[in-house]
Amino acid sequence: MMEMVEFLKELFLNMRIRDVIDIAIVAYFFYKLMGLIKETRAEQLIKGIIFILLATQLSEWLGLYTINWILKNTLTVGVIAILVVFQPELRRGLERIGRSKFFGNIFEKSSEEQSTGTIDEIIKAVQMLSKDKVGALIVIERETKLGEVIETGIHLDSLVSGELIINTFIPNTPLHDGAMIIRGDRIVASGCFLPLTENQGLSKQLGTRHRAGLGITENSDSVVVIVSEETGIISLAMDGKLSRYLDIQSLRQILIDVLVEKEQNPIQFNWLKWRRKK
């Protein structure tokens, strides 16, 4: 016990400011990494990897050489397997780094804020679609570009207008099925296919439209407005979270907070104020 105390004492006495900074950076990295994989399938895979590591060490201590050889070779091949299995999480993490203000200031020209006029056109359309119980899936692109998604639909490249949005989602029209992508003040495409969410804990009441809306927000920083065709309920998806049962005033205020006003804390943006139970 005394030896351990002396070791720790010696360690702290010899610690330099550079070492403290080094440890703090590593700790911050692992903190962000845990936040990235929390509540995803990667969390369960990490537990499996830890179990294999413990089993490998235990088999070596017990002299179980055959099992130890198998586990060690499994870990060797597992490095490549991790890159394949964790591809969605790795991609999401790199996209978050790319969306940081540091890189944005270097590589991107500053763009004008989303105009309230565009939001008003979206609100006008959503109000009518909700009233008539016409399903809609409107994706508002932000910093993460959605070129791959846009290529799956029909290019429009027209100014955002409530009438065009309503006409697009009218049932039995060519573009009513799929998602509409809005970039700035223009509708760039419609009838687009979105990736479905990987969240297995969603309510069974949520259909494909809601799952697709959540899916695209898990892979980008886009904001998605969803109108249910069965009930006319208005929902909003962002950052892999879904807020349901919104009224028009609430929806408009959220869009203004997120797309127009300068956010002092972009992570929270009063989300808890508007969030509803799934």
pLDDT digits (tens, 9 = 90+) for 126-144: 999 999 999 999 999 988 8
Q: Closest by alpha carbon to 210, among 168, 240, 174, 247?
A: 240
Return d(Cα 231, Cα 92) in angstroms, integer: 33
147 pLDDT more than 90: no
Q: Lowest-pLDDT range, 100-104, 213-217, 246-250, 268-272?
A: 268-272
Return d(Cα 9, Cα 49) in angstroms, integer: 34
Residue 44's pLDDT is: 64
191 backbone φψ class: left, alpha, beta (φ>0; ψ -120 to 50): left
Q: What is the mean pLDDT of residues 167-179?
A: 91
225 pLDDT more than 50: yes
Q: What is the mean pLDDT of residues 147-165?
A: 92
The answer to whether the pTM exceeds 0.85 is: no
Q: Closest by alpha carbon to 161, among 192, 122, 193, 131?
A: 122
Residue 89's pLDDT is: 60
Q: Which phi and psi angles does 196 have, rounded to 5°? A: -80, 150
CB atoms within 10 A of CB 70: 14
14 pLDDT more than 50: yes
Average pLDDT, the chain: 80
Q: Please state, for a pLDDT cut of 70, what percent of the chain lies above it.
A: 74
DSSP conformation class of 31: H
Higher pLDDT, 52 or 153: 153
Return d(Cα 95, Cα 137) in angstroms, integer: 23
Q: What is the mean pLDDT of residues 164-168?
A: 95
249 pLDDT more than 60: yes
- Tokens 């369960």 -> residue: 44
Residue 205's pLDDT is: 81
Q: In which band, very low, low, confident or very high, does the pLDDT at 36 lie, cut at 50, 70 and 90? A: low
DSSP conformation class of 275: -
Q: Which phi and psi angles does 175 have, rounded to 5°? A: -110, 10
Q: In which band, very low, low, confident or very high, does the pLDDT at 172 lie, cut at 50, 70 and 90? A: confident
Return d(Cα 143, Cα 181) in angstroms, integer: 13
Burial 151-176, CB ≥16 within 10 A → b, else e: eebeebeeebebebbbebbeeeeebb
Residue 34's pLDDT is: 72
Return d(Cα 22, Cα 29) in angstroms, integer: 11
Return d(Cα 182, Cα 222) in angstroms, integer: 10
DSSP conformation class of 39: T
Q: In which band, very low, low, confident or very high, does the pLDDT at 168 lie, cut at 50, 70 and 90? A: very high
Return d(Cα 261, Cα 180) in angstroms, integer: 24
Return d(Cα 135, Cα 230) in angstroms, integer: 8
Return d(Cα 168, Cα 129) in angstroms, integer: 11
